[in-house]
Chain A
Amino acid sequence: MTRPIRQHLEVPVADGDGERYSLRMGPQHPATHGVLRVDLELDGETIVECTPQVGYLHRGFEKLAESKTYAQGLILTDRLDYIAAMANNVGYCVAVERLLGIPVPMRAKYIRTIVGEMSRLCSHLLWLATHALDIGAMTVFLYCFREREILLDLFEELCGARLTFSYPRIGGVRQDVTGWFIDELQRFIDIFPSRIEEYETLIDTNRIWLKRTVGIGKITGEEALDLGLTGACLRGSGINYDIRKHQPYDAYDQVEFAVPLGSEGDVYARYRCRMEEMHQSIRIIQQCIDQLPPGPIVSPEAPELVMPNKAKATIQAGRSEYGTSLIRLIRERDIFLSGDVYVATEVPKGELGFYFISDGNNRPYRMHIRSPSFIHIGALSQIARGELIADLIANIGSLDVVLGESDR
């Protein structure tokens, strides 16, 4: 009975001459960053053909969002890029605010910028950790986690969660920052540059690291544009495009920062870009702390988000208080416009875009997520062709993909 299944799972042999063979790398593989599957056609250890396969983590978020109100849809975005959930939350909120025309108070904007940059640091730290681990530098992995832990503790102080935050809300943020948070954050950004130096002493000029990264996985600027790459993958190839700079949202137009650019477009250039971005994030956070204005953290025009009365909710089991009250509140406002909007934000991985079609209801008629990881995985086959298996690993790490975001 089991025979057909086994035959289906058997790794096929490419052709009769025995020179080439195929290898199915993943979805269970230590270096595919989740459940990415890469079908490889190999000649020795050289990659002849490389086909990335995604979809193992598909949860149907885009469809699911159609049955949730805009306020409820926020929690779905936590599960996209779970390494930098805060940046997704911010991206979603910015998009919905643009759709509904809700202004955001200045203080909330600054707080969002701070948490956005913190999540960028989180994501880049995890990227560096796993990228280095993939290439074999094991200690960097744990050094990065040491700093990431501090950031997660800060997030915990801010909103009680360490992974799925749902901290920003439509029209502002959920809670105000505490004094302890600001003090600890200040302490963190004071020590962090020296920690970056610590990582760099281990790998930056290490001969083996250079041999493994320089000239590997080259993409020219034009190719990167054609492939639709964004974020550090695009900037590593020398294209100056950063949404924070060119279409500023939140408080990014109030702060000064540089957009680090590479020129070679190889793994090393992308590595350098992200390392520099970490320095820039520190700069942005510092300015935000210094300029943080007083005032409200939620716009008065924001749809009210009321947690349900627990007793009531259980009595009305069929129609929970939570759902009805939200629907009512949002309906009463009657601010929903028909039409569509595409809003992109710069998340750590690249350009995260939310595309909404609204039919005037309180739920999106259609939500599309333009996730950078999905597009970056698509570039893998072009980058990896002709290189070795070991380079494929370096490339997957350097494209910085997260499968939760790719598969949605």
Chain B
Amino acid sequence: MENLDFSVVLSRWDMILQGMYLTIKLTLISTFFGFAVGTFCAIGKRGRTRWLRNVCGGYVEAIRNTPLLVQIFLVYFGLSSLGLPLTAVTVAAIALTINVGAYSAEIMRAGFDSIERGQIEAAETLGLSRAQVYWHVVLKQAMERVYPALTSQFVLLMLASSICSQISAEELTAVANFIQSDTYRPLETYIITGLLYVALSLLLRAAFWLLGLMLFKRRRKLEAFA
């Protein structure tokens, strides 16, 4: 058994930082667009149009019951066979967005379902259109209720973005693969990589917690009364 030597890995900190930056970037981009896709999909799934319900339901089930690795390759080979000149990072972001969109859709649907019928009926009585009901009455409340589940899903997305290393998007895991083949120090490399992911997920959780405090001020005020 040889001695552990972390210094050769840590001396490549500039590459590691670049990898972490790309991991964060991929996560934030696909979280943002994925949440948007998921919300529209959840609305579609609860709507009156039958074919739209089927399409949204099919999308959610198809994504939730197949591995992300396969989805990434499908997007990669699918888009390249269409002849689109896309970089690996763009393909990765698209695949992650499609993936997290389905999971957010399922979470947001649960949130929408949890809103009491009385509120929606009251809003309809006031003459609000369906879009207005969603925007002014339902959306924020639903989001608030499922916020913990949503943020856990986004942290899982950050961890899953490691799979994008397989289409050579140079995020943290891909950088780790390069460093370990360069230094012949796989154990040290992946221990450090693992710990960096742990740090990133703690950071992401803290950021979402702060965002939650800013987004849902009402709950904070209510808690002040309790």
**A and B associate:** no
